[in-house]
A = this chain, B = another copy of it.
Amino acid sequence: MTSRRPGRTQARDLERYASLFSSRTQNMRSSPMRDLMALTARPEVISLAGGLPDTSTFPAEDFAKLMSHMAVKATARALQYGPTEGIDEVREAIVRVMAAEGTDVDGDDILVTTGGQQVIDLVCKTLVDPGDVIIAEAPTYPGAVPTFSAYQAEVIQIEMDEDGMRIDVLEETLERLDREGRRPKFIYTIPNFQNPAGVTMSAPRRRRLVDIAHERELLVLEDNPYGLLRYEGEPLPSLYAMDGGEFVIYLGTFSKILSPGVRVGWAAAPRPVLQRMNIGKASADLCSSTLTQLFVAEYFAAGQWEAYMDELRALYRGRRDVLLESLAKHLPAEASWTRPEGGLFIWATLPDGLDTTDLLAKALSRNVAFVPGRAAFLDGRGGTSMRLNFSGVDEDRLREGVRRIGEVVHEQLDLLGSLTGRRPGAIPRPSERATGAEPRVDPALADVLHLPRREDDASRRSSS
């Protein structure tokens, strides 16, 4: 047995089963991060592609102690089914974690999920029919793209700047949709240290977004995995806190503050929505692991979690700084990148004419990886950008990784110059649409990564 994904399909096999597949499978796209995980599993690869916290910082002896404690108290319970909505102790821990971010929540308004990802899936299940509109940021979380696609949503992505989603553009879009008689099912946003852009929504924009939700009775899905990972500046109130739980669905997770391997996330939502999400969850996986929920509860009851957060923040702040320095050192002067105050990601944009999907193939051959920008869009944009993670790799490897990326970028720039005689173009802002420059996606790689190819781009663009 190998660790690769299920084998490539023979054409004749596909034909045999194709007529049995649901229409949603036509839209389903695999996640580039998931696919890259397999490609980057070898230890010699420096992967800035994942969104992996550094779990090696968690002391093995603490882990063993918590588990032994749980065994003494609750082996039978840990191994048994639990309630769909989650065990009480973990919902109590969630109330404390949200309080640490200044957000009050009632434990009965919480549904424990199998990671934050399941919240996105359940919100779509509860709200989205094929063809329905979801509003997201441009770029958006690459892991949400396959979920939105599986539910056959039409996703409209709203430009961002250094203050997060452009609420003026959002309002124009809502006006246009109004005139077309369409109401978006929800607005998806990551207000803190956005994945992948790294920017944070300003307080006035948060206020305005919540007001819009109330004025128009629109639901907002606030995805907040990184809120506690702030390295500088003042925390801002959550949309959920501003809204009072009327129109905001809050997505939280222990993945980035403790462990993604426990697969414990949560939603806090208005009751009628939460109730349907609960039913949707029961039909999807009955309940999340009781064993890992009890582990999470033990961990938060042990009272060391805030000290561990301090440790993580210090570690990741240092790595962010190293990544920023390395980018300045190795990327060409025409490149630009965001400077996040927290979270895990930096979004870098290369001179126009370069294509990061194309570049990834070359980067992989030098044992370094990133997420190509197209993975963060549903409409083919993002070809000149890349998402770089700084939490999962130590400082020396970060430096070396960026050095290799810089090498590949400069080679491509030289090649581009000698082929076309043209100078690299102006630096596009993160939110700008890629210009008419030829996307030069290696079709084989696009296939491996399930990225949109040129023909897909065209069809996607025309439909949104």
Contacts and interface: CB of A to CB of B under 8 A. Distances in A.
Interface of A: 1-7, 9, 13-14, 16-25, 28-31, 34, 37-38, 41, 50, 52-53, 55-56, 58-61, 63-64, 67-68, 70-72, 75-85, 88, 91-92, 95, 106-109, 111, 113-115, 117-118, 121, 125-129, 132, 143, 146-147, 149-150, 183, 185-186, 217, 219, 255, 258-263, 270-276, 278-280, 282-292, 295, 450
Contacts of A7: 108, 271, 275
Contact of A263 (B16, B85, B107, B289): B289
Contact of A91 (B1, B17, B129): B1
B81 A31 contact: no
Given A72-B64, A108-B2, A127-B20, A262 B289 contact: yes
B261 A4 contact: no
Nearest to A286: B117
Contacts of A72: 60, 64
A28 B76 contact: no
B58 A285 contact: no
Contacts of A106: 1
A64 B73 CA distance: 11
A251 to B, nearest CB: 13
Nearest to A60: B75
Contacts of A76: 55-56, 58
B271 A16 contact: no
B290 A109 contact: no
Contact of A291 (B92, B278, B292): B292
A221 to B, nearest CB: 12
A262 B68 contact: no
A183 B17 CA distance: 12
A262 B79 contact: yes
A231 B180 CA distance: 64
Given A6-B108, A61-B71, A114-B263, 5 more contacts: A5-B275, A55-B75, A55-B77, A64-B67, A114-B114
